[in-house]
Amino acid sequence: MKAEIIESKDLKNDPVFGQLSFNNHEQIVFCNDEDTGLKAIIGIHNTTLGPALGGTRMWQYKSEYEALNDVLRLSRGMTYKSAITGLKLGGGKAVIIGDAKTQKNDRLMRRFGEFVNSLGGKYITAEDVGMETRDMDIIKEVTPHVTGVSETIGGSGNPSPITAYGVYMGMKAAAKYKFGSDNLAGKKVLVQGVGHVGETLVQHITEEGAQVILNDINEKRLEELSKKYNANVVLGDDVYGLDIDIYAPCALGATLNDDTINQLQAKIVAGAANNQLANELRHGSLLQEKGIAYAPDFLINAGGIINVYAEVSGYSRDEIQERTENIYNTTLEIFNLAEKENITTHQAAFNIAQARIDSAKKDKN
Ligand code: NAD
């Protein structure tokens, strides 16, 4: 089956099955509990390669449509992220509707864990926006099907450093493809969002001699990190027209859109943020037309999933490191395939992932 890149769809008329078939999801579980007020949706996109692993996001969605759409997009993304990375995992994700700051409590987490448990391991949860390691520890009280728990109870710990290392590998591979050398010394790199992943990325690339420009909405952090890494800072969001070699989005998704791509001076985009392309088809193509080498986000930010996979597979730290390092080779492979077939890098990555899924399906039948 050819991998199909989807675009968002109006959910008003076909809120569940229209969207379900559109995304080819295997199963969607609506979790409702009157006592705790839990309203959650678990999306299981595909389990051909293994159990569907993906984090739980708690967010104050404006509507149930928005929550459903989010979980479907995210769980589908996990299928391809794990497949392209070569993990024996399927794709799934969960959303809890509500404000994590005011509505999250241990009872709610336990009840959610019971729903996860009822799926018998078909879905394995982890941390995402609005969740903390402590929440995973609570879920662990009621189900073994959770990852990202504290190291003291056998967890894999903070995934951000390993995610940053994977992004660094992806960036170097993009440089090799675009500039003929993967050495980042002297390259001007804009890192947008210097949080958990962004800071470690800055550390790797400054060590290699890149000229780093930091951008964040947190000015205190910018001041602190500019001193620590002797880096320049740019304030505000008017950053896309800067004279840079590499743009590394490490804050939010959808920063690659009509407006920003038009201004972009960078020759490479390689960053950690999920769903960087506002529209996968359109903006993947626009980057290709401008000759900007885009390292697919779901490939180069896969260090985090490799890290939690260790809890399921029993990988050692060395194996995690090795697999994350391999993001370099896969990224190069994708650039070459995209060029050969004259398709976007996003589509090339999808095609390889889909081929792995199809082949595993064939072996099963
Ligand atoms: P984080 O919350 O620690 O850091 C995000 C940073 O971005 C913060 O410093 C924040 O102030 C800044 N930011 C927010 N809005 C901004 C804006 N408009 N402009 C500039 N800066 C802004 O998050 P993180 O864990 O470092 O993750 C970064 C990105 O990578 C997220 O999109 C996340 O989904 C993705 N990601 C993270 C991991 C991981 O292991 N942590 C794994 C895969 C993907």
Nearest ligand 1 atom, CA 195: 4
Q: What percent of the chain has pLDDT over 70?
A: 94
pLDDT tens sequence across 313-339? 888 889 999 999 999 999 999 999 999
**pLDDT: is 203 or 21 the higher one?**
203
For residue 193, pLDDT over 90 is answered with: yes
Mention every residue, 6+ apart, whose C-beta is less than 8 A from residue 80. Answer: 3, 91, 298, 349, 350, 353, 354
- pLDDT band at residue 1 using 50, 70 and 90 as cut-offs: very low
DSSP state, residue 191 = E
For residue 37, pLDDT over 60 is answered with: yes
- pLDDT band at residue 7 using 50, 70 and 90 as cut-offs: very low
pLDDT tens sequence across 88-108? 999 999 999 999 999 999 999
Q: Is 290 noted as a catalytic residue in this protein?
A: no
Tokens at 300, concatenated:
């180069």
- pLDDT band at residue 110 using 50, 70 and 90 as cut-offs: very high
Whether the CB-CB separation of 211 and 232 falls below 8 Å is answered with yes
User: Using CA atoms, how far apart are residues 84 and 125, in angstroms rounded to an integer?
Assistant: 20
Average pLDDT over residues 233-257: 95
How much distance in Å is there from the Cα of 198 to the middle of ligand 1? 7
Tell me what pLDDT residue 3 has. 46
For residue 6, pLDDT over 60 is answered with: no
How much distance in Å is there from the Cα of 38 to the middle of ligand 1? 27
Mutation choice for ligand 1 from 59, 81, 169, 197, CB with most ligand atoms inside 8 A:
197
How much distance in Å is there from the Cα of 50 to the middle of ligand 1? 28
Please report where in the chains the tokens 């509990």 appear, as a residue: 33
pTM: 0.91
Average pLDDT over residues 137-156: 94
Average pLDDT over residues 59-86: 92
**pLDDT averaged over the chain?**
93
pLDDT tens sequence across 260-275? 999 999 999 999 998 8
Tell me what pLDDT residue 10 has. 57
User: Using CA atoms, how far apart are residues 46 and 244, in angstroms rounded to an integer?
Assistant: 39
Tell me what pLDDT residue 317 has. 87
- What DSSP assignment string belongs to 59-111? E--SSHHHHHHHHHHHHHHHHHHHHHHT-S-EEEEEEEES-HHHH--HHHHHH
Nearest ligand 1 atom, CA 218: 11
